[in-house]
Amino acid sequence: MRVSAVIASLQRCISSILCVFARVFSKYNYWTTGACTGTSTAVLAAGSKVDQNTEQNRTTPTSVNYHFTRKCNYKCGFCFHTAKTSFVLPLEEAKRGLRLLKDSGMEKINFSGGEPFLHDRGEFLGQMVQYCKLDLQLPSVSIVSNGSMIREQWFQKYGDCLDILAISCDSFNEETNQLIGRTQGRKSHLDSLYKIRNWCQQYKVAFKINSVINTFNIDEDMTENIIQLNPVRWKVFQCLLIDGENAGEAALREAERFVISDQQFQEFLDRHSSVSCLVPESNEKMRNSYLILDEYMRFLDCREGRKDPSKSILDVGVKEAICFSGFDEKMFLKRGGKYVWSKGDMKLEW
């Protein structure tokens, strides 16, 4: 009887150990396959056919936003990608990461910051733009900038390789821009905006405007100015809070005073409904619909209202890192994230 009892006890112990291993393996299997696709571990266990489907359904980094620097010469109060570090990858390492993204299916790269023209006076940025267009032959290369550091010589050297240049402008009133922090010293932000618009026309670069709608510009009517500037797209964002960036104890900005309600944002959109190039982005549309790479080439997951980084694509590759991006591809498509983004296909009149 004693022997039987011992054997039964051992069997229970072995069974318990096997259950623990099964749970651990199940969790591991989820994060290495199902996390990228939304496929459950139960389904994944069904067979190799599901594994093949999983490979087919993995997220493709079609459009990527690379914030290669956090440094900026402006102090916009609502900024959600602040100067928490001064790190910038060496150029060759950045190029290696861009190649990895291209090999994984990237079609469009958008360079942002910080202020992307600040580092090395735009030369670092220009070499990446040139590399992406000539070496990687990407269909679309774009930049988002505040415009204050751009010089005509940059267009002369790199303009052929740039498809779209987006300039951030939140108001057509200089005092409002100063209240927001979109200014440096006595420089006129609006003078820079109009000058760059003319350069884009001259050097055949599609011109775009980005505006963040907040408590300081919510009542402004920008219709006449936008129609006059005639951008290919006018992206209108609802001011967004991100913990650790512009909200919370560890943040470098306090953006709570800039926040507007969904109703206020809709009223602004209604006021500008006659502007055909307007592309609205509410907090809901914006939060998880961008593939964002930080200065270390880590994807940033914003699903919890903060930026949780993946491992760098330089260390683990795109396929693994993108599983932790929090990217909502359906929302990306819903907000019009994929559009005619190569200037050669826009049929613009220069």
Residues 121, 88, single domain; the answer is yes
Residues 6, 75, single domain; the answer is no
pLDDT interval class at 7 (50, 70, 90):
very low
Residue 89, classed as helix, strand or coil, is: coil
The pLDDT of residue 4:
45
Residues 69, 35, single domain; the answer is no
- Which of 79, 161, 302, 323 is labelled catalytic? 79
Q: Is residue 350 part of a domain?
A: no
CATH number of the domain within which 304 lies:
3.20.20.70
pLDDT per position as a tens digit, 64-110:
999 999 999 999 999 999 999 999 999 999 999 999 999 999 999 99
Only one residue has tokens 């550091």, namely 149
Residues 96, 42, single domain; the answer is no
pLDDT per position as a tens digit, 251-284:
999 999 999 999 999 999 999 999 999 999 999 9
pLDDT interval class at 287 (50, 70, 90):
confident
Q: In a 10 Å sphere around its CB, with 0-12 CB exposed, 13-18 middle and 19+ buried, how is residue 239 labelled?
A: buried
Number of domains making up the chain: 2
Q: Is residue 256 part of a domain?
A: yes
The pLDDT of residue 58:
78
Residue 5, classed as helix, strand or coil, is: helix
pTM recorded for the entire structure: 0.85
Residues 268, 165, single domain; the answer is yes
Q: Is residue 104 part of a domain?
A: yes
The pLDDT of residue 112:
98
Give me the amino acid identity at 27.
Answer: K
Residues 184, 321, single domain; the answer is yes
CB distance 259 to 215 below 8 Å? yes
CB distance 26 to 251 below 8 Å? no
CB distance 133 to 144 below 8 Å? no
Residues 68, 35, single domain; the answer is no
The token duo for 12 is 């229970």
298-325 average pLDDT score: 97
Residues 15, 106, single domain; the answer is no
- Which of 13, 19, 36, 72 is labelled catalytic? 72
Give which of 349, 348, 293, 343 is closest to 141, Cα–Cα.
Answer: 343
Residues 186, 322, single domain; the answer is yes
CA dihedral 236, 239, 244, 246 (to 10 degrees): 110
277 is catalytic: no
161 is catalytic: no
- CA–CA gap between residue 99 and residue 176 (Å, rounded): 41
- CA–CA gap between residue 138 and residue 343 (Å, rounded): 12
Containing structural domain, residue 23: 2-54
pLDDT over 50 at 176, yes or no:
yes
pLDDT interval class at 57 (50, 70, 90):
low
Within 8 A by CB and 6+ apart from 242, the residues are: 80, 302, 305, 306, 307
60: DSSP letter: P
Q: Is residue 16 part of a domain?
A: yes
- CA–CA gap between residue 251 and residue 5 (Å, rounded): 61
Residues 271, 250, single domain; the answer is yes
79 is catalytic: yes
Residues 37, 74, single domain; the answer is no
Distance of CA 78 to the CA centre of its chain: 16
- Which of 13, 19, 76, 302 is labelled catalytic? 76
Residues 18, 72, single domain; the answer is no
